[in-house]
Amino acid sequence: MRDPKPEIPAAAVGSRAPDTIETLRAQIDSLDTELVSLLARRREVVERVARVKRENDLPASHPAREEDLISARRVQAAAVGLDPDYIEDLFRTVLRNSRVGQLDTLSRRGVRPGARVLIVGGRGGMGGFFSRWFIQSDYQVRILDREDWDQVEALAAGIDLCLLAVPIDVTPAVAARIAPHLPRECLLADITSLKREPVNAMLSAHAGPVLGLHPLFGPATKTMDRQIVVVSPGRDPRRGQWLLDQLTVWGNVLVRTSPEEHDETMGVVQALRHFATFTFGRFLHARRVPIMRTLELSSPIYRLELVMVGRLFAQDPALYAEIIFATPERVALLKDYLQSLQRNLELLERVDKAEFVDRFREIADWFGPFGEQAMRESSFLVEKLVHRYKDLP
């Protein structure tokens, strides 16, 4: 007679060890390690793609493919019970990292490698910024700054591009001073935040190709991925196309406009916005508002707004003075803005809530569909801010 089989506990049959917080955290750590490894493998493939693109002169970014990829990942997320918005957010971060990585390789390609570039004001912030990008793309870069005018003949000899990177108020005078030394076929361009007067000055001074540019970013920018450069035509656009192609290779998005439209629009986009921010900051300063305490009691929207105010006052005041007081038209625009504040003061003095609601609705109707877009975009930014600074005051 055989011995009876030992009894096996029921819990051990077809079961696993009970979950504990330690074992579950270990599983999460393991999965996180796999995710990082997968991202590293993805990066290796992206680098190979970048090499193929460079060898075949293909653009770094393919917006249509990116949107197709995002759509496919959203469908996949929904199928496995994940929030599609969360997955889209994740993959847009991954795709941006991929673009920047590719640009680090592709942006070094020169459209006209070996071309001679003279940057007037090349030791300044934006002048130095563009100097570095041209050098990494195999251009021959020369610098002409205040102390170099005694060498202007040698510096300007045989150049293909003269880029003016000097303050707004001296750009027309510098254009007139440098133009007699430029070769006839040289492209003369500027990167100031005004366009009508600088472009007209360059056209008057130089008989060759002329191009007005306005980069909507500063010298602290680490990548030109999808950074906007406004392009205002001057003369002979065909001969300036290589520079626009180079900006595109670097990752910029080009927006074309006339010098007149540019200056009118920038009066609102830059001068009015910066001046309104300045006045808000000045008011906070005058009232000695306890900034850090307000942040402890603030909504994410207030933090976002205050961040933009603080950002302004952390930068060069002379630069913003140039932008705000650049033209009589801008000063007149800002006076109109202050007069509109006076009308709002009258509304406050009457404590007229009904009129406030009426004006509010009128303006909301004028904004139209942009209101919904603004809600989506601001909600995205607020959520990012909350997650990043949730433990800060």
| Paired residues of 232 in beta bridges | 212
pLDDT, position 11: 47
pLDDT, position 196: 95
Q: How many domains does the chain have?
A: 3
Q: State the pairing for strand pair 228-235/187-190.
A: unpaired
- Are 127 and 199 part of one and the same domain? yes
- Are 90 and 215 part of one and the same domain? no
Report residue 285's pLDDT band, with 50, 70 and 90 as the boundaries: very high
CA nearest to 198, candidates 160, 236, 170, 217: 170
* pLDDT single digits (tens) 316-328: 898 899 899 999 9
Evaluate whether residue 9 is within a structural domain: no
Write down the number of H helices and E strands in the chain. 16, 7
Please list the alpha-helical segments (H only) found in 220-272.
Answer: 237-249, 259-266
What's the mean pLDDT when you consider all of the chain? 88
Question: Domain ends where: 46, 73, 106?
Answer: 106
**CATH at residue 36:** 1.20.59.10
CA nearest to 213, candidates 201, 223, 228: 228
- Are 253 and 293 part of one and the same domain? no
Whole-number Å distance between alpha carbons of 186 and 156: 10
Question: Domain ends where: 237, 257, 277?
Answer: 257
Question: Domain ends where: 201, 235, 257?
Answer: 257
Least confident range of 40-44, 50-54, 372-376? 50-54
DSSP H or E run through 379: helix 370-389
Burial of 290 (0-12, 13-18, 19+ CB in 10 A): exposed
Q: What are phi and psi of 193, to 5 degrees?
A: -90, 5
* Radius of gyration (C-alpha) of the chain in whole angstroms: 29
* pLDDT single digits (tens) 133-150: 999 999 999 999 999 999
* DSSP code per residue over 71-82: HHHHHHHHHTT-
* Higher pLDDT, residue 391 or 259: 259
pLDDT, position 62: 66
**CATH at residue 146:** 3.40.50.720
pLDDT, position 349: 93
Take residue 101 and report the two structure tokens written for it.
């990585």
- 320 contact partners, CB below 8 Å, separation of at least 6: 274, 278, 312
What is the extent of the structural domain holding 133? 116-257
Evaluate whether residue 34 is within a structural domain: yes
Evaluate whether residue 199 is within a structural domain: yes
pLDDT, position 389: 58
Whole-number Å distance between alpha carbons of 270 and 279: 14
- Are 283 and 348 part of one and the same domain? yes
Evaluate whether residue 111 is within a structural domain: no
Evaluate whether residue 202 is within a structural domain: yes
- Are 134 and 174 part of one and the same domain? yes
Cβ atoms of residues 200 and 176 within 8 Å: no
pLDDT, position 271: 95
